[in-house]
Structure formats: structure tokens, C-alpha cells
Amino acid sequence: MPPIKRKKYLFQTKIDKLLKIIPHLGRIFSFLLGIIEVPMLELFRLTERFTKMHILEVVDTYILKKRWGGHVIPLNVNFHPETKFLPSQEIFKLISRSNVVGIGYCYCRLTYKNCDNPIRTCIHIGFGQSLYEIPYKSENFKRVSKQEIFELLEDCDQRGLVHQLIYFPNPNFYYIVCNCCPCCCVILSKFIKSGSPQMIKSDFIAKTDLSKCKSCGNCEQWCYFGARKIEGNGFFFEEIKCFGCGLCVSKCPENAIILIKKEN
């Protein structure tokens, strides 16, 4: 697997400060990009097909300025039992406080068809959402039942799909929650190959109890970011590459892995 670029992008411009003061403005931008996302991705796909150029990387770097991408959010079932977290740090809590309007088709799997994972896995957010507002929002949304969505998330976790908030114009504003595979997902697959578009790590990291680890290699197979390696009879972990998605936790037959919150 090619090395993943680690350039860090900070969102501390005057625009970001304004969006923090007026979150509704960011929600509007997020909503508008959500409307044009599918035709935008289709245009990029067709352009890349005929030009053989990585158009998305160019657009993301020079036009979108790394303001569009994915933020990895894990399930709390993969956490250490004593882990404390905010509603914006875990996918179940976040969804329960989001204005969800329904589950839609995954453009990436519908288009590229590189695997047999389900197509109807994208969780659409009504008018964009702000992470600034999540800790204070009520859970009493009745537009759609959340139970089917929670069941979908658990199924996707078992299938080895990465849960991502697709954000714009910065990581605090998202318009859809995707369950992504590395073989089809535009954001995940292209990030793994070239580092663009940007992906943001979760607030957690996977830790392994070496006394339980049997070096079976399951976690290496399910770590799309190359953080976990089995070489010879030994297990090696590159902490800097871990995105805290939690997939390795549910795939370990020895229950040797757990997600813990990163130290600030």
C-alpha cells in the first residue's frame, strides 16, 4: 500500500471564525454542496476517465482548498468500557441528535461496483449539520425512526465499512454520513492512494493487549490505513497511521483490541 500523505490542514481562517459565530451559514454551505455532490463526482469521474488525470486531487487542493472530505467517527461498541465521550465523537450519539431525513443510495458503490456491500447505506442530513450544535440538540426528532439507522450502522460495522461524516466547508459541518469501503468510496480510496481529498481522524486510537494477541493477521487485513502489520511472528503498530475507525476491534478473535480516547 502506498504511503499516506500526512500534511495537516488547519481551519482557523477568518471564514472559519465567522462560521463558528454563525453556524447557520456553514450549514447552508454544507447543504448546497450536498445538492451538487453527485453531479460533481460524476463530472470528475468522466473527466478522469478521458484525461487519465487525477482531477479530484487538483480541484480539492486548488479550488475546494481541502475543505471537502471525510471525518472518521467510530461506534461506541468498540470503545473501552470506561471511555467517556461527547455526543459529537461517536456515531450513534451523533445520529440521535442529527436531523436525519432518510437513508439513500451510495453513489460510489452504485457507480464502481467493486464489491457486494449494500448500496443503500448513506444517511442524509436535512439541512446540513453543525458539530458546534450537536451537544445541545434534542433527541426527540420524529421525522424518521432511528432504529433502522442504528441497525444499518451495526451491519456496516460488521461488514468492515468505515463510518464518515462528509463535510464542507470545514470538518465542523457535514451533510451526509457515509459507510465507506476502500474499493469504491471516492474519498476513502483516493485518500489511501494519494492523500486527497482530506480525511480527518477520529478522537480515538486502537490499542492492543499484546498478552492476548496471537498475531493472526485479522486486524492487518481490516486496517485500510496500514497501521497494523504482522511481520514474521510479530505484531507491529504504527500509531501515526491509525484513524480510530474501530474496525480492527470487532474483527479481532481474541478481543485483544480496544479503542481509547486520545490524550490532548
Low-confidence stretches of the chain (pLDDT beneath 70) = 1-10, 133-144, 264
Element (H, E) at 151: helix 147-159
Element (H, E) at 207: strand 204-208
Q: What pLDDT score was predicted for residue 139?
A: 43
The domains of the chain are located at 14-200, 208-264
**Among 3, 1, 9, 2, which residue's Cα sits nearest to residue 199?**
9
Q: What pLDDT score was predicted for residue 12?
A: 86
Q: What pLDDT score was predicted for residue 9?
A: 52
How far the first Cα of the chain sits from its last, in Å, is 29
Out of 3.40.50.720, 3.40.50.150, 3.30.70.270, 3.30.70.20, the CATH code matching 208-264 is 3.30.70.20
Q: What pLDDT score was predicted for residue 73?
A: 95
| Interatomic CA distance for residues 157 and 159, integer angstroms | 5
Q: What pLDDT score was predicted for residue 18?
A: 96
CA angle 181-103-23, nearest 5°? 95
Q: Is the pTM of this model over 0.95?
A: no
Q: Are 11 and 171 in contact (CB under 8 A)?
A: yes
State pLDDT tens for residues 87-115: 889 999 888 888 888 888 999 999 999 99
Q: What pLDDT score was predicted for residue 46?
A: 93
